[in-house]
C-alpha cells in the first residue's frame, strides 16, 4: 500500500511504536496503520508492506512489517511533509511558501539547488543555510536511525549518536557498540549489550566484560558507593554478564579484574577492607577524587589561624545587643569556633538556629575584614542563602566557574576561589566529585564553613561526604540540638524531630479550616490518594490563599505506581496546566510538554549551566526552530528537540530530587506500594521541604513503616579512614 501519513495518533520515540492515520490513493476513508517506525512525520509518503488485522475495538488496521519512504507526489503532501517539524527552520508557513514557489520540484530544488530557496519571499540567506544544514543532517540521521533501528536501538538516541560520532556513527557502533555506553548519555550497558547481540558480538567478548564490569561499578555509584569489595563486585558482575547459556565464572572475572588493575582501568585498595579481609576496587576517577579530597582537607587543617578570642567575644556581645537576638550556648560556641578554626562543620535539625548562626558567622567574618564567598549545591538553596546572608550566593558550579568547552572548572589549585572565607550550605548534598572540586579550589589560607543536616537523605551522587567528615573525628563539629520557641510553634518542625526520634508525628486531619501547618489525609488506597491530591489542589489549598501553580510541590518516594511521579505528573498537568489554544505544546517520548509546565533538569548539563534537580517553567515552544525555552531560577535556557530527554515534568518529583529546595506547600503521598523506598530519613527530608504547609496523604500503616525503617546508609567509602591517616 502506498500513500501519505495524514496525522500521528501515537508515536513512542523510545520504541518507535506508531499508530497513524494514512491516506491511500483512490480511497476517501483514512486507514489506520500500526507498526514500528524509526522516524515518521505527517506528510511523509510511504510504501508499506504488511497484513490487515481486525482490532476488536478499533476495527480494521494495517500492521506494517516493512516500509520505505518515497517522495511526496502532491503539493499538499509536500507542504505537510516539509512543515511537519522534520527540518529545523521550516514550519507550516514557510513550507507553504516554498511549495507555492517551486511546486512539485520542491524536494529536487532542496536536494540539488538549495541556494534557490532565497527566491522564496521571506527566506533570507541565513535561513537557507539553516535549512541546508538541517536537511543534510536529517538525511544522515535517517541513515543512522534506520541502521540503529534494525539493531534494536531506541530512536530517541539516534540524534545524540549522530552528534557524538557524525559520519563515523555506523562504523563506531559496528566495531564496538559498548563505546556508546561510555560516550552517549542515556545509552547504558544494557542497550549497548542488546545492540552487540544483534551485531553478533560474542557474549564472552573482552569488550563486553570490561564494559560490564565498569557498568556494575557505575550502578554501585548510583547507590552512593565509591567502590565495591571484591566478593560483591565479582558477584554482581557474574550476575550482570550472565546471558542465555553463557555465565562467566568467578575465576574468569577475578582474572579480568587483576588485568584491569594492571592496565590502570581499575584501582585496588592498598590494604584489605576492615572486617571483610578482602580488597576493594574503584573506577580510577572515584579513587583519585577520594584520595585528593582527603589530602586537600588535611593540608587545610594544618594551617594555623591567629585570632584574638577576647575581641571576638566582645563583638558577639555587641552583635546580640544590637540585633536583640541572643545566641544559645551552642550557637555562640559555633561562632567562636568559626573565628578560630580553618574548617568547621555546623549541623542540626530544623528550628535549631542553623540559619541565624550562619548569618552571625558571616557578619563576624565581615567585621574581621574577610572577603566571603557563599555557595550551595542547588540554585534554589543558593538563592535562599543569599537572602539570609544579605550578599550574593552562587551554586557551587558557578562559584567554581565551569568551562563547558574543556569540561573542567576554571577554579582549581592554581586558580583558587578569590575569598578568605567560604560558606557552603546544604552540605549533606555534597557528593564526592563536587566536594573534591570545591576543596581543590579552596586556598590554604581560606576558612571553610560547611552547614548541613546529617539526618536528611545522603547525596544523590557517590560518597557520604558530610557524614564521613564528621565520622573521621578530624574536623571540628558543632551540632545544634536546642529547638527555639518560635520554631516549636510549627508542627512541621516538631514532627520532623519526632520522626528523627522514631516517634509517630502529630498530624491534624484535613478540614476546611485547619489549625496546624502539618496535616494528614487518610485515603487508604493509592487510587483514592490520587483523587485526594486532586481535591486538595482544587479546593483546600486555594481556599487557604496559595497560588497552586507556584506554591505547591508534590513529593513522592518513587517514580512508579499510581502515586509515583510519572502518573501524578500526567494527572496534575491536566489539572494545573490544561491544554488551551493559547499554549503551544509538543509530544516527546509519550510525554506532553506545554507552555506553563513546571519541569525538572534530570542531568548535569554544563553547556547550558543547568544541573540535576533544577526546577524551571516552560515559557516558549518554537515549532519552526525546534526548540523549547525554560525559565530557571537564574537564567533562560533553550533546548533543541533532540535534548528534551534531559527534562521531565515536575508537578510531582521524587523526594531525592527535592533536596536543597523549599516550597510553600508540600504534598507527601506515602503508600505501601513504595515500601522498598520508605525510610525515616526519606519522610524526614520530604516533610522538612515544606515552609508553610505540609500535607501527608496515605494510610498510617505506611507512615509508621517509613518511620520504623532506619535504612542502613552504609555506603562503601574510605574518606573517613583516609582523613585519619597521617599525611
Binding site as annotated, residues: 351-355
Q: Which residues contact 561 (CB under 8 A, 6 or more apart)?
A: 526, 567, 671, 673, 674
Eight-state DSSP code of residue 510: P
Instruction: State the Cα–Cα distance between residues 37 and 258, nearest whole angstrom.
Output: 44
Rounded CA gap, 40 and 15, in Å?
Answer: 13
Distances (CA, A) of 261 to 257, 267, 268, 284, 692: 6, 6, 7, 10, 53
Assigned C-alpha cell, 377: 549545591
- In angstroms, rounded to a whole number, what is the distance separating the alpha carbons of residues 698 and 531? 12
Run of H or E including 165: helix 158-165
Q: Are strands 372-376 and 421-424 parallel, antiparallel or unpaired?
A: parallel
- Whole-angstrom distance, CA of residue 692 vs CA of residue 109: 62
Helix or strand (DSSP H, E) at 565 = helix 565-576
DSSP structure class, residue 672: G
Q: How far apart are CA 601 and CA 303, in angstroms?
A: 39
Do the Cβ atoms of 109 and 117 come closer than 8 Å? yes
Mapped onto helix, strand or coil, the DSSP state of residue 441 is: coil
Binding residues for ATP, as ranges, are: 351-355
Helix 354-367 and helix 379-389, axial crossing angle in degrees, nearest 10: 60
Written as one string, the DSSP assignment of 3-40 is: EEEEEEEEE-TTT-EEEEEEE-TT-SSPEEEEEE-SS-
Q: What are phi and psi of 250, to 5 degrees?
A: -60, -40
Q: Taking a C-beta distance cutoff of 8 angstroms, is the pair 557, 655 a contact?
A: yes
DSSP code per residue over 459-500: -SSS--HHHHHHHHT-S-EEEE-PPPHHHHT-HHHHHHHHHH
Backbone dihedral angles phi then psi of residue 671, each to the nearest 5 degrees: -135, 155
Amino acid at each position: 500500500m502506498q500513500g501519505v501519513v495524514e496525522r500521528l495518533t501515537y508515536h513512542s520515540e523510545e520504541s518507535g511504536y506508531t499508530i497513524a492515520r494514512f491516506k491511500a490513493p483512490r480511497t476517501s476513508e483514512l486507514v489506520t496503520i500500526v507498526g514500528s517506525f524509526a522516524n515518521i512525520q505527517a506528510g511523509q509518503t510511504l510504501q508499506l508492506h504488511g497484513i490487515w488485522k481486525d482490532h476488536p475495538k478499533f476495527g480494521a488496521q494495517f500492521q506494517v512489517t516493512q516500509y520505505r519512504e518515497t517522495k511526496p507526489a502532491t503539493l499538499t503532501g509536500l507542504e505537510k511533509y516539509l512543515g511537519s517539524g522534520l527540518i529545523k527552520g521550516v514550519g507550516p508557513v514557510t513550507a507553504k511558501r516554498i511549495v507555492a514557489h517551486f511546486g512539485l520540484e520542491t524536494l529536487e530544488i532542496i536536494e540539488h539547488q538549495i541556494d534557490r530557496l532565497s527566491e522564496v519571499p521571506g527566506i533570507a540567506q541565513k535561513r537557507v543555510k539553516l535549512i541546508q544544514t538541517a536537511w543534510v543532517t536529517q538525511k544522515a540521521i535517517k541513515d543512522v536511525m534506520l541502521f540503529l533501528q534494525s539493531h534494536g536501538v531506541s530512536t530517541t538516541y539516534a540524534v545524540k549518536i549522530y552528534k557524538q560520532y557524525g559520519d563515523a556513527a555506523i562504523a563506531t557502533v559496528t566495531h564496538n557498540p559498548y563505546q556508546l555506553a561510555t560516550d552517549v548519555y542515556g545509552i547504558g550497558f544494557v542497550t549497548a549489550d542488546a545492540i552487540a547481540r544483534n551485531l553478533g558480538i560474542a557474549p564472552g567478548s573482552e569488550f563486553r566484560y570490561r564494559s560490564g564490569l565498569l557498568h556494575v561499578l557505575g550502578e554501585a555509584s548510583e547507590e552512593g558507593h565509591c567502590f565495591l569489595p571484591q566478593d560483591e563486585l565479582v558477584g554482581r558482575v557474574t550476575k550482570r554478564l550472565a546471558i542465555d547459556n553463557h555465565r562467566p565464572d568467578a575465576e574468569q572475572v577475578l582474572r579480568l579484574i587483576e588485568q584491569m588493575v594492571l592496565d590502570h582501568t581499575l584501582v585496588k585498595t592498598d590494604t584489605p577492607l576492615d572486617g571483610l579481609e578482602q580488597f576493594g576496587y574503584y573506577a580510577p576517577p572515584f579513587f583519585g577524587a577520594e584520595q585528593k579530597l582527603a589530602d586537600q582537607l588535611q593540608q587545610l587543617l594544618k594551617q594555623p589561624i591567629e585570632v584574638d578570642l577576647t575581641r571576638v567575644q566582645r563583638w558577639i556581645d555587641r552583635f546580640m545587643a544590637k540585633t536583640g537576638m541572643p545566641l544559645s550556648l551552642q550557637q555562640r560556641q559555633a561562632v567562636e569556633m568559626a573565628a578560630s578554626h580553618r574548617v568547621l562543620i555546623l549541623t542540626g535539625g530544623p528550628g535549631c538556629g542553623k540559619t541565624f548562626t550562619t548569618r552571625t558567622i558571616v557578619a563576624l567574618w565581615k567585621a574581621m575584614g574577610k572577603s566571603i564567598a557563599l555557595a550551595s549545591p542547588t540554585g534554589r538553596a543558593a538563592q535562599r542563602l543569599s537572602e539570609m546572608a544579605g550578599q550574593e550566593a552562587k551554586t557551587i558550579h558557578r562559584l567554581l566557574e565551569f568551562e563547558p568547552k574543556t569540561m573542567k572548572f576554571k577554579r582549581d589549585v592554581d586558580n583558587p576561589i578569590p575569598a578568605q572565607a567560604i560558606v557552603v550550605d546544604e552540605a549533606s548534598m555534597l557528593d564526592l566529585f563536587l566536594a573534591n572540586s570545591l576543596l581543590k579550589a579552596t586556598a590554604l589560607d581560606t576558612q571553610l564553613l560547611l552547614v548541613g543536616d546529617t539526618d536528611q537523605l545522603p547525596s544523590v551522587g557517590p560518597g557520604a561526604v558530610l557524614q564521613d567528615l564528621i565520622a573521621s573525628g578530624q574536623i571540628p563539629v558543632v551540632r545544634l540540638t536546642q529547638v527555639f520557641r518560635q520554631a516549636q510553634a510549627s508542627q512541621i518542625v516538631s514532627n520532623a524531630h519526632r520522626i528523627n526520634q522514631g516517634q509517630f508525628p502529630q498530624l491534624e486531619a484535613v478540614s476546611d479550616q485547619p489549625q496546624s501547618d502539618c496535616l494528614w489525609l487518610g485515603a487508604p488506597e493509592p487510587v483514592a490518594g490520587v483523587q485526594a491530591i486532586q481535591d486538595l489542589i482544587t479546593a483546600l489549598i486555594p481556599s487557604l490563599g496559595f497560588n497552586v501553580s507556584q506554591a505547591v510541590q508534590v513529593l513522592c518516594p518513587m517514580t512508579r505506581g499510581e502515586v509515583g511521579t510519572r502518573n501524578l505528573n500526567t494527572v496534575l498537568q491536566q489539572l494545573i496546566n490544561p491544554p488551551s489554544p493559547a499554549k503551544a505544546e509538543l509530544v516527546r517520548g509519550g510525554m506532553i510538554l506545554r507552555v506553563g509546565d513546571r519541569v525538572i533538569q534530570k542531568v548535569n548539563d554544563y553547556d547550558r549551566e543547568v544541573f540535576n534537580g533544577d526546577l524551571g517553567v516552560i515559557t516558549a515552544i518554537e515549532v519552526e526552530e525546534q526548540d523549547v525555552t525554560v525559565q530557571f531560577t537564574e537564567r533562560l535556557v533553550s533546548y533543541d528537540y533532540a535534548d528534551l530527554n534531559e527534562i521531565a515534568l515536575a508537578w510531582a518529583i521524587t523526594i531525592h530530587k527535592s533536596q536543597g529546595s523549599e516550597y510553600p506547600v508540600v504534598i507527601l503521598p506515602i503508600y505501601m506500594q513504595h515500601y522498598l523506598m520508605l525510610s525515616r530519613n526519606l519522610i524526614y527530608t520530604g516533610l522538612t521541604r515544606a515552609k508553610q504547609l505540609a500535607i501527608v496523604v496515605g494510610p498510617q500503616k505506611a507512615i509508621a513503616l517509613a518511620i520504623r525503617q532506619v535504612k542502613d546508609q552504609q555506603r562503601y567509602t574510605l574518606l573517613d579512614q583516609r582523613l585519619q591517616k597521617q599525611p
